[in-house]
Structure 1
Amino acid sequence: MASILTPRHQGRLELTWTDKDKTLLSTGDGRYDYSFVDSSDYRVSEVRLLHEVSRFAAATPQERPAELPEPTEDNLLVTGDAMHVLDALAKIPAYADRYLGKVKLVYIDPPFNTGQAFAHYEDSIAHSIWLTLLRDRIRQIRPLLAEDGSVWVHLDHTESHRCRVVLDEELGEHNFVAEVAWQKADSPKNDTKRLSTSQDTILVYRKSESWTPNRMPRLAVSNTSRYKSRDGDPILWRDDNATASGAATHQSMVYAIEHPVTGKKMYPREGRHWAKAQSWMLEQLSQYAPYELRDIGDEVERARRCGITPNEVRPGVPAIMLSIPLDEAAAQARARYDAGHWPDLVMLGLGEQIQRKKHLEDKGRVPETLWLGSEVGGNMRGKNEVRALFPDEHPFATPKPEQLIARIVHIGSLPGDIVLDCFGGSGTTAAVAHKMGRRWVTCELLSSNVSRFLLPRLTKVVNGEDPGGVTSITERIAAVAGDGEDDMELPEGVSPEDAQEFNRVLSKVTKANSTDLDEKTIKALKAATKTKNVTTLNWHGGGGFTHLRVGESMFEEVAGIVVLADWATQGALAEAMCAQLSVSYEPDDIFAGRQGRTRYLVIDGMVGKGTIASVLDRLPEGEVVEIWATQIDSEATETLRVDRPGSKLELIPDKVLDNYRRTSASKAPFGAGRTVPSPRTATETSDSAAAGAERESA
């Protein structure tokens, strides 16, 4: 069985599958072809360099509205395996400074395990490959995430149930946010033998409790009819209860309030307490008349309201009482009431019912988990968007519409935030993120996809030549009543879509009905529900991105021996080694980089006692050096140890591979009874690496 649910001894639920303890290595040279290898395998552990291929940029158009977010410049499109890209972002200092712990939103649309991406594997192995692929990428993504970041994983029914368990393991069950259902099809596939699937699943996880979703725009028709302004308040409001339940546990909030006109003592009803702090209540009431806090010895009444005995009630809780005679207070209260724009504590008509104002705050809607195709589009809209951009290309089977990605980007990020998509596909995520003023990073394993889709699509976006998707938004609104007149308001509670449908049905009814209808009434109804489409241009072009390519491995394997690749010489070798060490490659004199008081030097050749002396002559006092060389004289290590304590001399590539493998044999010191290898060769691969290579070739 490929995967089963088994309880671990800690009592935690875990998903297990074949070779779960290993990691996945892409062996297909730009294809979905994988082998399981040990996590210490140098092909997995090596940090690959990213090489710039080209740079694309365009000036921000002058006609662009100022309220739109600024186009972003520092964006990355990378050709290569996500495994190498994510490692480079996290471990190469030049990228880690920009991305480590700073990515706000990750959207992953991995290849669905439908038999297309992994068609030549047995079913059980295909499941294992897919789960390991996802697990490995999540492990790499997590350190890149900002504390208030989130991960959105897009799936169909094939792996969604297993994926959620894996995400619980890697991101924390307590960080699960929601399972979104996206309606990708609005009609059934009649050739389906079982049930036609209409939705995909998007699993949402947060990095930590710091994450909060951005709200959605309020619907055209919301439950706002109760909000009015009876007093001239510029912000609409409705009545809200001034009390809350739980009097017995909030005894300090159960007390009397003297009415400013009648003088009657008002209490919360039995079992309830005033909902706001007494200081707030005093401040609000003092806007009607002068008040003060005063102990009136009403423990018996307060106990009755709390549902307890007088012996149990909290003593000494003061009432809010008038500080001037009642007739003076009444005159002031009436004058304040008549002036309008009342305080937030309201006594309508100066009656004896106290209420609070609840203002209409347009914070928007809380995002929901059912996303209809009518709102964000379905697969067909996604295909049409790709066809419009590439009429001569065959579109992806399941391209995502831009409006769907725009909703995710809106909920999970703000302009200027970083959005990451490590399965670039046709480039929808990067295109939408760019149009919405986010910074973005996307990568794609298949170079053919990059050249055919991502690169030309993102170039069009930057140049303002992509008119589709979220470039413009078309909304239906109430139509103009006539030439020169302002837009009308629809009847309360009627959305533009409702009005459009009503008008359509009304026209059908009037045509079909043979009886005489009141033409004047019909005309008035049509006029009252007339709507029109308005298109707003939200993207005008601008910004830029850099196209990078994952570099070749610095190692080659020849007859079971791992050696340095031919390209890894001199400066190229120094840059590659700095990447393995997570040291910034900043050449300075003979040194490749530095961290604190440690300088790093990479030498493609033999290091002997004379070399050590020359290096130390150029090393500032108080600093140490770490030298990495392809050949080491047996006496050089001891010379460096004695002449500059704390310094190190290591062999390339042996020591790098040893660090990857972390085997006990690899920890033997260099130079002590060890034969120096011939130039640019190294030790044989470990059993585990050899086994992985054998499996790959099979």
Structure 2
Amino acid sequence: MSDVELVWPNKDMALRASGNSSYEWVEPTCNRLKVPLKLERLTSHHGNERPNIVAVGDGLDILEALSGDALIFESGIRLVYIDPPFNTQVNFRQYRDTMKRPMWLSMMRDRLMALRPLLAEDASIWVHLDDAEVHRARSVMDEVFGEGAFVASVVWQKKNTRDSRAAFSENHDTIVVYAPSGPKKWKTSRNLLVKDGADLVNRDNDPRGPWTDAPFTAPGYRSAQQYDIVTPAGNVQRPPRGRSWYATEATYQSLVADERIWFPKGGAGSPRLKLFAHQLRGLVPFTVWGTSDTGTNDDAKRHLMALFPDKEVFDTPKPESLLERIIHIATNPGELVVDIFAGSGTTAAVAHKMRRRWLVAERNADTVFKYLLPRLQNVVDGKDPGGVTGATSWVGGGGFEVVNVSPRLGKLTGPYRPDAIERNLAMSLTKCGKLANAS
């Protein structure tokens, strides 16, 4: 699908999850891959409504195990946001980030390939990385989705602090955005950003609230829109040469009656159209997102520390305000959001608060039970006051289902064994409330 190909060792092989946390190269035709995946529903789901899902297991295994479920994927995935390991060659407290590059590339390629047939026609894929692999990830995404699917590289300022010891004080990540339908078609279905309400002022104490104004003229000559307007100060106004009034005289009189026309200069100026917040056309997103709009890693850490005061939180969590912007641009309420590297659950938490459907997968069972499930249960119960709760007017509700998919390759040991996962889930249910009844 791309004229230029990135080549790496074992590219012709599949990279599958093996055991607790490792991966294994296998031939795509290997008989071991023909063994059916075992999907265990750890909580019950009642009714025919489409469930939100927390899946314990590798993202590729999860997608394959659930791909035939029409209840989940009937309308397709509208948004994929993933924040995978960056392959920085640094180990963090909650996960290792030291894969060999060929394995990292195949890991990304295989999971993106599994997502592709599940996407809606107007879907977009947002991959969050830093400089370690982002340029190679672009090549992989070109191969999977086609070069014409590239939309943008969003630069997110992740911190305000400066590292004086470095050659450059690195303070940004890159979020690569692809849309299989292509940017021209995708932009017709994506949402614009809400215009800043700070520009709105209530200059006449209008009970409908603050407003801004725009000229009551339009380009070109239209005979039906050429008429005299008498201002409150008694001046007679005509459209400027080469222009017409914005609407016909009948519509103008209706707008005057609705107090939608504003005359500046003490009532002597040319008429202006009053526009309230809900009538303003949104803003096309920039490709550089600052901390004032989308938060920082430190904002996200403070949120997690408030939720989990007795636990060590993730080193580089993403703030809810960042996900709120992505989900707003890429989806509408009720549409499906997918994250196969769920981590502490930011994507699911924000999608839930924004009334989207969601499916998230996390391979590390310890992360699921320590962070992901308790966090989402707080969201469902209306007990998470942080993040975008206020901005979304979230007060609680909804629910989710928990499933487990064990890898085909290798054996799970310790807390990753299915029976141990069920015991941990039971403990988590006791602490958080009965998830099965929340859906």
AA aligned to 1:53 is L
Pairwise CA distance, 1:148: 0.6
The structure-2 alpha-carbon separation of the partners of 1:18 and 1:417, relative to structure 1 and needing over 3 Å to count, comes to: same
Partner of 2:374: 456
Q: Please tell me the residue identity of whatever aligns with 1:74.
A: P
1:28-84 alpha-carbon deviations (Å, 9 max, x no partner): x221x1222111223445441321112599xxxxxxxxxxxxxx9710001011111
Does the CA contact (< 8 Å) of 1:107 and 1:153 recur in 2?
A: yes
Alignment of 1:600-679 (within 5 A): none
Matched, 1:34 2:9: no
For residue 7 of structure 2, what is the aligned residue in structure 1? 16
CA separation in 1, counterparts of 2:297 and 2:317? 6
Do the aligned residues in 2 keep the contact of 1:107 with 1:421 (CA within 8 Å)?
Answer: yes
Q: Which residue number corresponds to residue 141 of structure 1?
A: 115
Query: Which residue does 2:37 correspond to in 1?
Result: 48
Counterpart residue number, 1:610:
none
Q: Distance in 2 between matches of 1:56 and 1:422?
A: 21
Q: Is the 8 A contact 2:80 2:337 kept in 1?
A: yes
Residue 551 (structure 1) shift: 4.4
Map 1:213-224 → 2, pairs under 5 A: 213-222=190-199
Name the CA shift for 1:122/1:128 in 2 (closer, same or farther; >3 Å): farther
1:77-226 paired onto structure 2 within 5 Å? 77-90=54-67, 92=68, 95-99=69-73, 102-116=76-90, 126-190=100-164, 192-209=165-182, 210-212=185-187, 213-222=190-199
Deviation at 1:96, TM superposition (A): 3.7
In structure 2, relative to structure 1, the CA distance for the partners of 1:188 and 1:45 (3 Å cut) is: farther
Q: Which amino acid aligns with 1:35?
A: E
Measured against aligned partners, the alpha-carbon deviations of 1:643-677 in whole angstroms (never above 9, x if no partner) come to xxxxxxxxxxxxxxxxxxxxxxxxxxxxxxxxxxx
1:546 and 2:401 are equivalent in the alignment? yes
Query: What displacement does 1:286 show?
Result: 3.7
Q: Which SS does the other structure have where 1:391 is aligned? A: coil
**Cα gap change, 1:13/1:436 in structure 2, threshold over 3 Å: closer, same or farther?**
same
What is the CA–CA distance in structure 2 between the aligned matches of 1:235 and 1:386, rounded to whole Å?
38
Q: Secondary structure at the match of 2:55?
A: strand
> How far did 1:383 drift?
0.8
Deviations 1:621-649 (CA, angstroms, capped at 9, x unpaired) = xxxxxxxxxxxxxxxxxxxxxxxxxxxxx
> Is the Cα contact below 8 Å between 2:57 and 2:405 reproduced in 1?
yes
TM-score of the two chains, using structure 1 as the length reference = 0.48
Are the aligned partners of 2:76 and 2:336 in contact in 1 as well (CA < 8 Å)? Answer: yes
CA contact (8 A) 1:99 1:144 kept: yes
Equivalent-residue separation in structure 2 for 1:164 and 1:146 (angstroms): 21
Distance 1:194 1:235 in 2: 46
The answer to whether the 8 A contact 2:13-2:26 is kept is: yes
Query: Which amino acid in structure 2 is aligned with residue 357 of structure 1?
Result: Y
Mapped to 1, the partners of 2:2 and 2:175 lie a distance apart of 28
Q: Judging changes above 3 Å, is the alpha-carbon distance between structure 1 residues 391 and 538 closer, same or farther for their aligned structure 2 residues?
A: same
Instruction: Tell me, in whole angstroms, the C-alpha distance in 2 between the residues paired with 1:73 and 1:128.
Output: 37
Structure 1 equivalent of residue 257 of structure 2: none
Secondary structure of the residue aligned to 2:121 is strand
* Structure 1 Cα separation of the partners of residues 225 and 150 of structure 2: 47
Deviations 1:449-489 (A, max 9, x none): 1111111111111111111111124xxxxxxxxxxxxxxxx
Q: What is the number of residues matched between the two proteins?
A: 364
**Kindly tell me: are residues 129 and 223 of structure 1, through their superposed partners in 2, closer, same or farther at Cα, counting changes over 3 Å?**
farther
Q: Distance in 2 between matches of 1:339 and 1:137?
A: 64
Q: Which residue of 2 aligns with 1:377?
A: 295
How far apart are 1:242 and its partner, in Å?
2.4
Q: Please give the alpha-carbon distance, in whole angstroms, between the structure 2 residues aligned to 1:34 and 1:19.
A: 13
Structure 1 SS opposite 2:124: strand
Q: Specify the SS of the correspondent of 1:15.
A: coil
Q: Would you say the 8 A contact 1:30–1:447 is kept in 2?
A: no
> Equivalents in 1 of 2:346, 2:2: separation in Å?
41
Q: 1:422 to 1:355 in 2, by over 3 A?
A: same
Distance 1:353 1:223, change over 3 A: farther
Offset from partner CA, 1:333-387 (integer Å, 9 cap, x none): 55xx4499xxxxxx94266543453966512111111111121111101111111
Native 8 Å contact 1:73 1:545 kept in 2: no
Q: Which runs of 5+ in 2 are unaligned?
A: 203-210, 248-272, 412-439
- 1:236 to partner: Cα distance: 4.1
- The correspondence for 1:242, drawn from 215, 219, 222, is 219
* One-letter amino acid matched to 2:172: Q
Matches of 2:410 and 2:56 in 1, distance apart?
A: 21
Task: List aligned pairs for 1:331-370, cutoff 5 A.
Answer: 333-334=227-228, 337-338=229-230, 348-349=237-238, 352-355=241-244, 357=246, 361-370=279-288
Aligned to 2:347: 429
Q: Structure 1 352/240 Cα, relative in aligned 2: closer, same or farther at 3 Å?
A: closer
| SS of structure 2 residue aligned to 1:237 | strand
2:383 aligns with: 465
Residue identity in the other structure for 1:195: F
Q: Deviations over 1:277-332 (max 9, x none)?
A: xxxx3xxx1465xxxxxxxxxxxxxxxxxxxxxxxxxxxxxxxxxxxxxxxxxxxx
- Cα 1:97–1:538, aligned 2, differ >3 Å: closer, same or farther? closer
Structure 1 stretch displaced more, 356-365 or 149-158: 356-365
Residues 150 and 207 in structure 1, CA contact (< 8 A), matched pair in contact too: yes
Question: 2: distance between equivalents of 1:352 and 1:387?
Answer: 63
The answer for the alignment partner of 2:415 in structure 1 is none
Between the aligned partners of 1:122 and 1:77, the Cα distance in structure 2 is 23
Instruction: Give the deviation of 1:421 after TM superposition.
Output: 0.3
- Structure 2 counterpart of 1:126, one-letter code: K
Aligned partners of 1:39 and 1:45 also within 8 Å: no
User: What letter matches 1:34 in structure 2?
Assistant: Y
Shift in CA distance, 286/97, structure 1 to aligned 2, threshold 3 Å: same
Q: Partners of 1:402 and 1:99 in 2: how far apart?
A: 25
Distance change in 2, residues 1:189/1:422 (3 Å): same
Q: 2:53 aligns with which of 51, 76, 84?
A: 76
Q: 1: distance between equivalents of 2:50 and 2:386?
A: 21
Determine which structure has greater relative contact order: mean sequence separation of CA pairs < 8 Å that are 6+ residues apart, divided by chain length: 2
In structure 2, what is the Cα distance between the partners aligned to 1:158 and 1:406? 25
Structure 1 counterpart of 2:326, one-letter code: I
Structure 1 206/223 Cα, relative in aligned 2: closer, same or farther at 3 Å? farther
1:394 counterpart SS class? coil
Shift of the 170–220 alpha-carbon distance from structure 1 to 2, 3 Å rule, reads: same
Whether the 8 Å contact between 1:75 and 1:441 is mirrored in structure 2 is yes
Higher-Rg member (1/2): 1
Taking every aligned residue pair, what percent have the same amino acid on both sides? Answer: 39
> Partner of 1:549: helix, strand, or coil?
strand
Query: Matched residue of 1:140: which SS?
Result: helix
Unaligned 5+ runs, structure 1 = 1-9, 58-71, 226-233, 244-273, 275-280, 289-332, 341-346, 474-536, 558-698
What do you get for the CA RMSD once the two structures are aligned? 3.3
Matches for 1:184-333 after TM superposition, within 5 Å: 184-190=158-164, 192-209=165-182, 210-212=185-187, 213-222=190-199, 236-238=213-215, 242-243=219-220, 281=222, 285-286=223-224, 333=227
